[in-house]
Structures are given as C-alpha cells and as structure tokens.
A and B are shown apart, each in its own frame.
Chain A
Amino acid sequence: MKNLQWKVITIVVVLVIFSALGVYPILAARKGIHSPGWLMDKQLKLGLDLKGGVHLVLRVQTDDALRLESETEMERLREELQSKNITFSKIDTVGPTQFRVDGVPTTMDANFRQAATEVQANFDRSSASNGSYTFTMKPNVQQNLRDEAVVQARQTIERRVNDLGVTEPSISQQGNDQLLVQLPGVTDVERAKEIMGSQGLLELKIVESGPAPDKNSLMVNGQVPQGDEIVPGATGTPGDASTVYYTVKKVAAVTGRDLRNARPSLDENNQPAVSFTLNNEGGRKFGKVTGENIGRQLAIILDGRVQSAPRIDSRITTEGRITGSFTNDEVQNLSLILRSGALPAKLDYLEERTIGPSLGADSIRSGIIASLVGLLLIVSFMLVYYKLSGVNAVVALIFNLIILLGLMAYIGAVMTLPGIAGFVLTMGIGVDSNVLIFERIKEELEAGRGVRASLNAGFSRVFWTLVDTHVSALISALFLFNFGTGPIRGFAVTLAIGLASNLFTSIFVSQTLFEMALAKKQQVTTLSI
C-alpha cells in the first residue's frame, strides 16, 4: 500500500513539473495571464515553417582566410629578404595555401634558409632546383584557420543581426563551413542578406598613383610595382558611375580591426557619409602614416573598392570620415556593418527560404486540426475496444503528451513540421505499447489466470518487448541526429524524448493506474478490458 502511495506521488510530481514547463506557458501566453519570466522563457518555440520568417544557409569561403594568411606571411618574408639583401627574381602566391619564391642564387641559399625559419612555424618548405622554394601551409594550421574563420563569421553575423533588432534570431554552424541563419518575423530578405553578406572590410591605404581610367596605364613595364596593388573605385564625382583605378600600397595603414565606432553623418556638402573613430592603437598607426604622407592621397577602400581618395592635409589620429555617393539607407547599413567588424571571409548563399506569416499560420492550424482528429479517433477507439482499461490508456497517452511538451520546452527544442512527425510517431508507439500490454493481459485472462496475476504477467512479459522496440528506435534517432541537418535533427530530438517519456507512461503510469483501481477491492474477478 505504501508502495502505491509513493508511485502516485511520483507521478503527480512529474506531471506538475512538466505541465508547468510545457503546457502552462502556452496557455498563459494565449490568455494573456501575467506569469514570472523564468517560466515564460522556456516556452516551446515554433520553427520558421510554422511561424514565418527568413531561413538562410550560407557557406563561409574559408579559402579566403587561408589566402589572407598566405599573403601576409609572404609579405613578411619579402620584407625580411629585402632587409637582408637576399635577391630573388619573383615571389608570388600559388594558391590559397601556397606561395613560391623563385631565382634565389645558390650562393645565398644558406642565408635564405635562415631568413625563412620564422615563416616555417606555420608553413612547410620544399625546394626545387634553380633556387625555387615553395611554402605550403601545414594541414593543422589550415584546419585551425578554417575553423576560426567559421566561428568568427558566426560571431560577426550574430552582432549584425542583433544590431538589426531581430527577436530570437538563431545562428548555428552546420557541417564544416556552413551557417544556418534563421530570422523569425523578418520579411525584408534583401536588406538582411546585404547586411549579413557584406564583408565589411575597411582598409585605408596610401595612394601611389592614379586615378587612371584603365588598369594598364598604371602598370610599370607591364607589371604592378612590387609591394603595390591596383584597386578599382569610383571617381567620387556625384552622378558619374564610371570606374577608375588606383595604385595603392599593398599593406594597409589602418584596417577595420582598429575601428572603435562608426556612425552615419554628413560631409561638408551635406551629403550622407559615415564617420568613424579609431581605437588608440589604430590612432597611433594612423597618425604616423598620415604625418609622413602629408600632401598625398589616402584611399578609403571598402571590400576591395575605393570609395574615395581624399588628400591628406594634416596629421590625423583617431577621427575619419568615409565619403562617396551614398544614400541615407546606405550609410545606415554601412555604419552597422563597420561597427560589427569585418567578416573573415566571403559568404555564399546556398539556400534561402521565406515563409510568410499567413502561410505558417495556415500550416499550424491544419496540423493541429489533423492531430486533434487523429487523437480523437484513437481515444474513441481505445474507449470502445478496451472499455474502462481504455481510460487508462488515454490517461497514459495524455501524460505522454504533457511530458513530451514539457521536456521539449525545457531543452529549448523548436517545433517544426518534421517535429510534428516525431510527435505522431511517438503517439503511435505510445498507443502500441498500451495495446501490446492489454492484448497480453487478455491472453493471460483467457488462459484462466486471475486478474492480478494476468496484470502482472502482462506488464512483465511485455516489458522486454518494449525495451527492444524502444532501443531500436533510439538507435535510429541517434544516427539521424548525428548526420541529419536542421529539421531532421528536430525530428530525431522529438523522437528520442518521446521514447523516453513513453517508457515511463506506458509501463509505470499505466501499471500504477491499474493498481489504484484494484487496491480497494479484496476479491477481483473481472477486469473491464
């Protein structure tokens, strides 16, 4: 008897906890009842397919980050060689992870090797005849850089999205180099994409020559001068859309990393512009470069394009302004992008999905109606076929639903259409567990056993069948979770939780209910099943 009391208490406690987590917040939100925040925070969230919003999958082009590292290392080696007077005919990148030095005289071989030791922390060196050396980035360094680029890209996008004021955005990594971005409620996809996708790389570089209408006229002997690069840009005259080219120093005086803040402002002609403030380190570097180059032009380069190239009139330290022919919206977006920092690599869009809120509402309404109809059919069947024992099964089924909802809300799972599929499967397996037990009890009764003995036999015999079916389903759920993407993972999570709660309800709860019903009777001769 004591035993039974504890079982009942356990069930009631479990039920209260999960109702509070799963069912109460939904009802309270509907009825507008004010409730403590910690309870409402856990509310089961709807996926985008049910709620509406923008769903984007993007790939971080991690090669960009590798290329940048190779170029930086190459420039360092170039300076090192030049400072030690080691001659070479050519130095250039071969791919994102390789660069090559050609024509090092054999007499300088030992010196070269020594000069290159520092580079070799991250690169493997191989040498060919005629003084060629190829530096290849070490595989573990490549992997680290790629991983870092993806993490940085995620953090940058997070900052930008938060700045946009989206409620409950979700940004998660998917596979090696993909990011899944979900923005509930957002319908202006183009703006969201522009803000997320712009690299936002600001570079301030000293202009060597230009502007010129075409690239060739800037070449010296048909080549880009050593240590320089040619960058396209706008003429700076309003209304003139043609492209001009500048030769600028390859090494930037200051980059967006040294930025402390950026905000929309106006230039001297009252045109929209972006004002920026550099941090102390950036201000020191900027002051040095501008002080040394008074009278020359400074190119303000955004994502590889010169926005403007004003003349340096005096030494500038921390304050600057980007002018160009911008609209008000553009300076708003640009300030936001610069504030959040540059992306470490370019982004590709792989997938884009916009679900209008009305379509989501339609889906959820139909889904709920269908689930209710299904549930009602099952409940009526169980009540007709199993009579009073059917009540037991229905109670177990409802408990199962409550626990499932509560657990999903607690772990922060998101309800999607495939998630509803997981729900349906759980309900199916739940009913099956009850049917298995009840049919077994009937068999035992027919074999001439007493009611209590039949009940015990029914539950104990079926126990291992249930374990086998549940473990098999769990195995599937596990692999689906590991290999699946987005919605399929949601399915796997719902299924795994459902299986656990089902074992509890169909065995523990159901058996306790039978015990409660029979507890008061001395002699039990019939069972309504």
Chain B
Amino acid sequence: MHIFHNTHINFLRWRFHALAVSWVIILAGVAIIATKGIPKGVEFAGGTVVIDKFDQNVSVQQVREALDRNFAGGGQNTVVQAYGDPSQHQVLVRVPSSGAEAGQSLSVVAQRVNDALRKGNIGGFTTVSTEIVGPTVGAELTSKGLWATGLSLIGILLYLAFRFQFSFGVGAVVATIHDLLITLAFIAFFRYDMSLNVIAAILTMTGFSTNDTIVIFDRIRENLRSMRRDSMFDVINASVNQTLNRTIITSGTALLTALALFFFGGEVLHGFAFTMVVGIITGTYSSVFIAAAIVSFWRGNAPTRAAAHAPASTMAPAAAQQPQRKQKPQRKAKAS
C-alpha cells in the first residue's frame, strides 16, 4: 500500500512562495507580540491563580461582580474563567500580583481573592488549586530557557556540520528557529498562556522538526553519491519525493496523537496540545521549504560533484550491497 507512489513533485519551485508565507506569519506574530504582548502564564509573569470548585453552578459574571465589589483594587487585570468540565462548577481567578511585591507573605493575595468571593455570597466553594509565583521567578526561567535552547541549537549545528556539511547544519538550525517563531506567533494569535507545559511542547516540537529535517538530509547525502551530475536543486527534490511517504506517515501519526491530546487531554493539556499541533505542521513544512531550501541556496545550481563527506563505510551505495545468495536466480520480490 502506498499513499504516494513514485512522485516527482518539484517542491523547491515553491520555495519563494513558502518563504513569503513564513515571513507573513512571523511578521504578523511579531506585530501582535509587540503590540499586545505574548500572554504569559503565572510561572513567567508572576501573580496568583486560584481555582475554586463551587457547590452549585455559578456564572463567570457572578464571580467577576463579587470580585469587583469586594476585592481591593477591583477586578482590574483580573482574569475569571470557567475551568475544566462545566459539571464540576470550577472557576479560575487570576490576579497579576502576589503578596511578595508588597513585602508580604506570598499567599496574601490568594486569601484576599477567596475572602472577596465569600463576601460576595455567591455560594459555597472549596479551593482545589492555587498557584502563586513571586516576581523574580519568571526572569530566571526565561533566561535559563533561552540558554538551553541556544546551546542545544549550537550543539545540533556542530553535530550536523560534522556528520554532513556546514550548510546542512545551518539549514537545520534556521528551520528550527523558524518553527519556534511560527509557533510563538500562533500562540500569540490564539492567546494561549505561555506556561511550563507550553514550553515543554515547544521543546517537543523542535525535537520533531530536527528529526524530520535530518531524515531528509540523510537521503540527500545518500543521493549525492549517485546523482553527481545533478544540481543540488534536483538532488533535494528527488530526496524529498523519495521520503514523502515516510514524512506524511510520521507527521500524520504524530498529528493524530497531538489531536487526541487536544480533544481528550483535559484543560491542563490544552495549551500543550495546541502547540504540538502547530509545531508538527510547521516542523514538517520547514524541513523541505526552509532547511532543504537553504542548502539549495547555499550550493547554487552547479552539479554537486564532490559528495558530502560522510563516513564512507556506513554510506555504501546501493549497488555495492550484494544480495546474499548470488548463485540462485533471483525471483522478483512482490511488494503487496
């Protein structure tokens, strides 16, 4: 069974169109982030989140009014949302401050929120979860995250430059950065909160993206040996076509898993799953239109001639691999 059979699609023909689309999305993302900012979860922004489970149904409006009336500072910049399964009557309240800014105990604000709700007399509730983050934590998380990402990109660049060629390393790393920017743009469009779970999803998706890129690169490296008269442009197109089935199947199954998480994973995993879905799509797309395209720009249209320097023993061309039983007449194997 095949999804695609023996395709000869000229993928690179669309590289400039693709580049334009990418730039539009990234610039739109930058514009939104510059004007409205990227929504940050409490881990990064600092502040207080309280999730209360009410005994009976209350509307978000009732909760908001109770806060407006009884919470000092009113409902300014306060977020009130229904949380999780509606039958659970859970409400999430987020306030941008914790006690720490005023030099008080960290949990002061959470207590004030609950006091205000009790005063509002909108029904009994129990607090199922609180999350309070002081103002200094976010900056540290951000800087550590950036260091980890930056260094791992350099590590991958060096490894690929060693295993393939320098241009391949650059292609893979630029593609990963591209995926990061696109994903951030979509998170900003759909206003998902930047939380640790979303960061985990971004990391997962960069892993997928690099994985996908390397598979195509590997085929390019192999084809460079047999297609010496062809330009890099043609070698890349052939390689992308040859690996197309695998690309579609892998990305498809990964996408299925991510969609399952999105629809069945519950409230906590929502942002995570969304990021995964976007990341898998952009990761697949960037392998061809960013990573491979960069290698093609880099190498121009001249015949490739010199093959990629890779460990020769591992890369024996197809012809050199001898069938095991030479003497016997080879029957044609049937692929079903």
Contact = CB atoms under 8 A, between A and B. Distances in A.
Interface of A: 49, 57, 175, 189-190, 193, 348-356, 358-359, 362-363, 365-367, 369-371, 373-375, 377-378, 381-382, 384-387, 417-418, 421-422, 424-425, 427-429, 431-432, 435-436, 439, 442-443, 445-454, 456-457, 460-461, 463-465, 468-469, 471-473, 475-476, 478-480, 482-485, 487-488, 491, 495, 525-529
Interface range on chain B (Cβ under 8 Å from partner):
35 or more
B265 A418 contact: no
A424 B314 CA distance: 30
B256 A381 contact: yes
Consensus secondary structure, chain B interface: helix
A525 B203 CA distance: 44
A187 B160 CA distance: 49
B245 A417 contact: no
Nearest to B164: A468
Contact of A356 (B129, B148, B332): B129
A526 B333 contact: yes
A465 B214 contact: yes
B266 to A, nearest CB: 3
Contact of B333 (A370, A385, A445): A445
Contact of B265 (A355, A367, A387): A367
A351 B196 CA distance: 14
B226 interface: no
A381 B147 CA distance: 39
Contacts of A381: 249, 252-253, 256
Contact of A366 (B160, B163, B257, B266): B266
Contacts of A461: 222
A449 B331 CA distance: 8
Nearest to A468: B214
B210 A480 contact: no
A365 to B, nearest CB: 8
Contact of B163 (A367, A385, A468): A468
B166 interface: no
Interface in B171-209: 196-197, 199-201, 203-204, 206-208
Most buried by A among B144, B156, B210, B333: B333
Contacts of A427: 257
A378 B152 contact: no
Contacts of A436: 215, 246, 250
A488 B314 contact: no
Given A421-B272, A448-B330, A491-B200, 10 more contacts: A175-B140, A349-B105, A351-B137, A436-B250, A445-B334, A450-B331, A454-B333, A485-B144, A528-B336, A529-B335
B333 A448 contact: yes
Contacts of A485: 141, 144
Interface in B267-325: 267-269, 272-273, 276, 311, 314-315, 318, 321, 323-325
A425 B208 contact: yes
B1 interface: yes
Contacts of B206: 476
A374 B200 contact: no
21 contacts: A351-B106, A359-B128, A366-B266, A370-B261, A370-B266, A371-B257, A374-B256, A378-B256, A385-B249, A435-B246, A445-B335, A456-B324, A468-B214, A479-B152, A480-B148, A488-B145, A488-B199, A526-B336, A527-B335, A527-B336, A529-B335
B134 A350 contact: yes
Contacts of A463: 314
Contact of B315 (A359, A454, A464): A464
Given A385-B1, A469-B211, A526 B253 contact: no
A448 to B, nearest CB: 6
B29 to A, nearest CB: 23
Contacts, number: 277
Contacts of A435: 246, 249-250, 253
Contact of B148 (A384, A457, A482): A482
A contacts with B: majority SS? helix
A428 B85 CA distance: 29
Given A450-B323, A472-B159, A472-B160, A525 B218 contact: no
B155 interface: yes
Contact of A476 (B207, B325, B332, B335): B207
A365 B265 CA distance: 8
A427 B254 CA distance: 9
B204 A424 contact: yes
A461 B219 CA distance: 10
Given A353-B132, A362-B84, A374 B257 contact: yes
Contact of A424 (B107, B152, B196, B261): B261
A527 B333 contact: yes
A421 to B, nearest CB: 4
**In the complex, the 3 A-B pairs of residues with the closest C-beta atoms, listed nearest first:** A366-B266, A356-B128, A374-B257
A428 B107 contact: no
B324 A190 contact: no
B220 to A, nearest CB: 11
